[in-house]
Chains A and B, each alone.
Chain A
Amino acid sequence: MTDQLATEGTEALIQRAAAGDHDAFQDLLTPHLAMFHYAVLRIVKDPSDAQDALQEGLLSISMSLPNFEGRSQFSSWAYRICVNAALQVLRTRRRRREEFMEDLASHGEDDGRPMEAEARLDWSTEADAPLHLERQEVRMRMMKTLDLLPDSLRVVFVLKDIEEMDTQEIAEKLDITPAVVRQRLHRARMFLQERLKPVLSGRWP
């Protein structure tokens, strides 16, 4: 199928879905589901929170679809909605945690969650490990390494380096200053580069 045919197919699905055709809506989303799910999972980390966030995202897409103007690609537009839903879940989670831990909240920056030294996947001590791993497993381990970061650092890294948002936009979304965005980004990058040395030095299948 050519790209043009695919685009025409998507446009028709969007129109039908926006007019209330539920099967069209499902067909429209299914091809992007894995990508959307992975995007929210990278932000919220917890699989059950990811399911909630994705569900919220899909509902928002459904509600906003009649207003979709087609100025951007449908997938990018919908993807952004899912990312926003994930950020909302994260905010709610943080608020919940703060309510429980109000008197312990003296750490500020890192939501009091340490980068567990004992749980870390230190690839640098097994320098050639990736060579012996299947690509799929390498990806799983990359994800686990990302999960070792506290929420505040992981979210900034994901939004900046994976979702490629600009610093100002991230600052506004997270209600922090651009300088704090860069500071957190730096800590996240330093943490990851230390643990992903073999991958970043090109020793990767």
Chain B
Amino acid sequence: MMGLPSCSEVESCMTDYMERALPWRKRMGIRIHLLICKVCAGLYGRLRTLSGRAKDLFAPPSPEPPVEANAALQHAMDLIRKQGTNGPPPT
């Protein structure tokens, strides 16, 4: 039987595995390893949760724009008004 990858090999390949960037044989080795190794399966679960829920996990803490955002808009508006950059300048 072909040798299964070690825990550290599995760990280092996990993103490539998730991205389906591994050759078939290596991929199968990792799949089998994940079935029998709780530690790596736990890590795999956390990485999948992190990747799958990142949009939600790192969502803005508040729906209100912070001061810097309003300042950026005000500065942009000042420049736009001065230069008339959005669309053709009003006649």
Contacts and interface: CB of A to CB of B under 8 A. Distances in A.
Interface in A155-169: 157-158, 160-162, 164, 167
A22 B66 contact: no
Nearest to B64: A34
A11 B15 CA distance: 41
Interface stretch (A71-79, A101-109, A111-119, A136-144): A136-144
Nearest to B43: A193
Interface string B38-72: 00000101110111001101111111111011111
B81 interface: yes
Nearest to B19: A182
A82 B80 CA distance: 16
Main secondary structure of the interface of B (DSSP, over half): helix
A178 B71 CA distance: 37
Nearest to A162: B54
A51 B72 contact: yes
B16 A186 contact: yes
Contact of A136 (B54, B61, B75): B61
B16 A38 contact: no
A50 B68 contact: yes
A139 B15 contact: no
Interface residues of B, number: 45
B38 to A, nearest CB: 13
Contacts of A167: 19
B4 interface: no
Interface residues of A, number: 58
A157 B58 CA distance: 11
A18 B86 contact: yes
Given A20-B84, A26-B77, A59-B80, A34 B66 contact: yes
Contacts of B71: 51
Interface string A154-192: 000110111010010000000000110011011001101
Contacts of B43: 193
Contacts of B54: 157, 161-162
Interface of A: 17-22, 25-26, 29-30, 33-38, 42, 47-48, 50-52, 54-55, 58-59, 62-63, 65-66, 136, 139-140, 142-143, 146, 157-158, 160-162, 164, 167, 178-179, 182-183, 185-186, 189-190, 192-193, 196-197, 199-201
Interface of B: 11-12, 14-16, 19, 21, 43, 45-47, 49-51, 54-55, 57-66, 68-73, 75-77, 79-81, 84-90
Given A55-B72, A65-B86, A183-B15, 5 more contacts: A37-B69, A38-B60, A50-B68, A63-B86, A158-B58
